[in-house]
């Protein structure tokens, strides 16, 4: 009962932090503008011809139609939110593929443990060495990233933690606070366990209380219930960034691109704000454009000056 009361006090305090704010999520920075625009490559969306993850789920694929152009291509493995499949975030995933990434998404609707997300990365490793695959010798297996939404955000982090270095960066989008893990204590996601790679936490300012940017009580009392707490727990030697989009709520990533065509509710703004800096982060971390790192440098990166639509920014990027 005591812990329940403690959480209730945290929840009430957190709800007071953020009102129903909206913003102009139009990119204004040079790097954000570049990567918010569609990439130069046509995109193919397909179901994998081969099976499967360890739970028997097939894979959805989003990839540049002309795989010879600009190859080898970095790989991104996607984690679905609870009950979802990748078509719910199709606009976002097609956008990534247009910039040269090969995206693979398990059709697992419950990706929180990260195992099927990691299976997808392993599938692409096998495809790269399979002469019968369209991806044969077309993939850059030194640059594999993971991105996920909601439950899949936690799964993407877990996949990187357990990948033994296979996954080199992760973007958890709308990562739920620890109280949303209805699991045993040893299964609760603790970002202090990230020992390698890099991480960019992204949420929307109206995603309260699932993924709030900050919390009033210290994590030692209530756990990691905010992006600020998740960010702080990541070891200092791991490159990390956290930033909150002003306006979106939990399911804006499912905008296609606006909320009038979103596949899930609630949605307030749409997918627009998630396109620029997350794509730029992946372009930097997965080897396509190291110059994109200038957007994220601690204290003076471009993202710090986009105050009309980003807030609660922390970074240790040098």
- CB-based contacts of 1: which residues, under 8 Å, 6+ apart? none
Q: Of 203, 197, 201, nearest to 286 (Cα)?
A: 197
Q: What does the pLDDT read at residue 26?
A: 76
Let me know how many helices (H) and strands (E) the chain has, helices first.
Answer: 8, 9
Q: What is the number of domains present in the chain?
A: 1
Q: What does the pLDDT read at residue 23?
A: 55
Q: Let me know if residue 181 belongs to a domain.
A: yes
Q: Cα–Cα–Cα angle for 198, 202, 206, nearest 5°?
A: 165
Q: What secondary structure letter does DSSP report for 11?
A: H
Q: What is the distance between the alpha carbons of residues 52 and 114, in angstroms, rounded to a whole number?
A: 15
- Is the sign of the CA dihedral 207, 208, 213, 219 positive or negative? negative
In this structure, the chain runs to a length of 318
Q: Let me know if residue 287 belongs to a domain.
A: yes
Q: Let me know if residue 159 belongs to a domain.
A: yes
Which pLDDT tens digit goes with each residue over 168-186? Answer: 999 999 999 999 986 667 6
CB 250 within 8 A of CB 173: no
Q: Let me know if residue 13 belongs to a domain.
A: no
Q: What are phi and psi of 308, to 5 degrees?
A: -75, -20
Element (H, E) at 8: helix 2-15
pTM of the model: 0.92
Q: What is the distance between the alpha carbons of residues 103 and 87, in angstroms, rounded to a whole number?
A: 12
Which pLDDT tens digit goes with each residue over 10-66? Answer: 343 344 344 444 556 678 899 999 999 999 999 999 999 888 999 999 999 999 999
Here the CATH number for the domain that contains residue 126 is 3.40.50.1820
Residues of the chain with pLDDT under 70: 1-25, 182-184, 186
CB 179 within 8 A of CB 219: no
Range of the domain at 49: 20-315
Q: What does the pLDDT read at residue 10?
A: 38
Q: Let me know if residue 3 belongs to a domain.
A: no
Q: What does the pLDDT read at residue 20?
A: 47
């Amino acid at each position: 009962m005591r812990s329940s009361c403690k959480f209730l006090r945290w929840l009430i305090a957190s709800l007071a932090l953020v009102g129903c704010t909206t913003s102009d999520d139009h990119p204004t920075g040079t790097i954000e503008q570049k990567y918010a625009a569609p990439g130069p490559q046509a995109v193919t969306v397909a179901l994998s011809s081969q099976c499967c993850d360890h739970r028997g789920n097939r894979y959805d694929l989003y990839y540049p139609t002309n795989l010879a152009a600009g190859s080898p291509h970095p790989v991104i493995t996607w984690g679905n939110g609870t009950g979802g499949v990748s078509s719910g975030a199709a606009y976002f995933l097609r956008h990534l593929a247009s910039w040269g990434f090969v995206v693979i998404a398990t059709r697992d609707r419950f990706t929180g443990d990260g195992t099927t997300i990691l299976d997808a990365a392993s599938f692409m490793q096998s495809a790269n060495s399979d002469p019968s695959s369209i991806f044969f010798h077309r993939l850059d297996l030194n640059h594999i990233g993971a991105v996920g939404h909601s439950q899949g955000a936690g799964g993407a982090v877990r996949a990187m933690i357990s990948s033994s270095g296979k996954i080199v960066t992760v973007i958890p989008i709308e990562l739920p606070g620890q109280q949303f893990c209805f699991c045993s204590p040893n299964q609760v996601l603790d970002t202090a366990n990230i020992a390698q790679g890099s991480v960019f936490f992204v949420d929307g300012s109206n995603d309260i209380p699932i993924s709030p940017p900050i919390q009033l009580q210290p994590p030692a009392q209530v756990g990691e219930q905010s992006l600020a707490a998740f960010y702080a727990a990541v070891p200092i030697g791991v490159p990390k960034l956290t930033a909150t989009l002003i306006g979106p709520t939990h399911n804006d990533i499912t905008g296609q691109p606006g909320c009038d065509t979103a596949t899930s509710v609630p949605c307030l703004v749409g997918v627009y704000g998630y396109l620029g800096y997350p794509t730029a982060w992946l372009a930097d971390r997965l080897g396509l454009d190291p110059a994109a790192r200038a957007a994220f440098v601690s204290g003076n990166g471009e993202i710090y000056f986009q105050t009309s639509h980003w807030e609660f920014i922390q970074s240790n990027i040098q």
